[in-house]
């Protein structure tokens, strides 16, 4: 079956938003957002600060809830389901973000959480492994397999606080993969990474995408949109400005409109770069 046929099949979409609105502080941070993403459809959601990207993530993770619709139809379904137990949802969707990294670092004690323990904590939705957790041999094998996939085996015995930003990010992906999620949602994933670490990290994401893990990338940087991602959604003021193929959407004209200033876009080997300028 072709990829196109798979995406058009009767299987419920990974995400389905229909006129979803979220109000925070009296303001609509998401305003009538409608979109559908199917499994296998690697997608980037690109927008400037204040576009509603963080609100979109919180909506998916059930930290924020959309306004009820007048017709009673659900504004959001995930894998065809409206209501989720949050812990069960985490086994289907892996979320990796700078906020998660900060929370993980702030809630673990120095010298207590190794890379292996951090990965194992994914089984318990915790920030480390604690005495009341029952870790089986099978769990340890699975955790080491995730580390191997991420080329992070040397980090198994290192403590979290000694790792670089890029190393912790790979540990968090391994942690997300431990429950076998059907998709990964990445929020500004290369924040804090230098040029080399960013290239290596994007290479890791490309490998996961090529091996069938659906990737949804939420970012303000066109440079993060790696070649395996073909669909790009431009988000502005909580609304969709444009939704289409990468080649159609990532143009100087469209990104200038999105960011409200002149932007020059260049494409090379499946990557796009955007720079300010006339």
Looking at residue 200, which CATH number applies to its domain? 3.40.50.300
Domain shared by 41 and 26, yes or no? yes
| Residue 199: both structure tokens together | 């290239």
Domain shared by 31 and 60, yes or no? yes
- DSSP strand pairing (231-236 vs 43-46): parallel
Domain shared by 273 and 151, yes or no? no
Q: Could you read off the pLDDT of 253-263 as tens digits, one per residue?
A: 999 999 999 99
Domain shared by 102 and 74, yes or no? no
Domain boundary residue among 156, 180, 204?
180
Q: Which domain holds residue 139?
A: 98-180
Categorize the per-residue pLDDT at 7 as very low, low, confident or very high, splitting at 50, 70 and 90: low
Domain shared by 2 and 85, yes or no? yes
Domain boundary residue among 149, 180, 211?
180
Structural domain count of the chain: 2
Helices (H), 130-232: 137-149, 165-177, 195-210
Domain shared by 1 and 47, yes or no? yes
**What does the alpha-carbon distance between residue 152 and residue 159 come to, in Å, rounded to a whole number?**
13
Cβ contact 16:77 at 8 Å: yes
Domain boundary residue among 160, 180, 200?
180
Residue 65 CA to chain centroid, in angstroms? 19
Q: Could you read off the pLDDT of 117-149 as tens digits, one per residue?
A: 999 999 988 888 888 999 999 999 999 999 998
Domain shared by 71 and 190, yes or no? yes
What pTM did the predictor assign? 0.88
């Amino acid at each position: 079956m072709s990829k196109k046929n798979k995406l058009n099949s009767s299987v419920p979409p990974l995400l389905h938003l229909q006129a979803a609105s979220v109000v925070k502080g009296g303001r609509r941070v998401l305003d009538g957002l409608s979109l559908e993403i199917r499994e296998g459809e690697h997608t980037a959601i690109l927008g400037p600060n204040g576009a509603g990207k963080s609100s979109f993530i919180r909506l998916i993770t059930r930290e924020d809830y959309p306004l009820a619709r007048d017709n009673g139809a659900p504004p959001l379904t995930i894998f065809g389901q409206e209501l989720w137990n949050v812990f069960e949802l985490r086994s289907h969707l892996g979320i990796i973000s700078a906020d998660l990294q900060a929370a993980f670092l702030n809630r673990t004690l120095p010298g207590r959480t190794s890379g292996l323990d951090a990965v194992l904590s994914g089984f318990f939705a915790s920030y480390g492994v604690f005495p009341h957790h029952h870790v089986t041999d099978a769990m340890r094998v699975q955790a080491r397999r995730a580390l191997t996939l991420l080329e992070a085996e040397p980090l198994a015995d290192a403590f979290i606080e000694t790792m670089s930003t890029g190393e912790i990010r790979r540990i968090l992906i391994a942690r997300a993969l431990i429950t076998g999620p059907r998709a990964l949602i990445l929020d500004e994933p290369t924040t804090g990474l230098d040029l080399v670490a960013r290239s290596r990290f994007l290479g890791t994401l490309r490998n996961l995408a090529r091996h069938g893990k659906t990737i949804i990338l939420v970012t303000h940087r066109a440079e993060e949109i790696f070649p395996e991602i073909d669909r790009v959604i431009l988000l502005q003021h909580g609304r969709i400005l444009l939704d289409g193929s990468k080649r159609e959407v990532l143009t100087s004209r469209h990104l200038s409109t999105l960011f409200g200033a002149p932007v020059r876009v260049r494409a090379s080997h499946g990557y796009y770069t955007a720079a300010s300028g006339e």
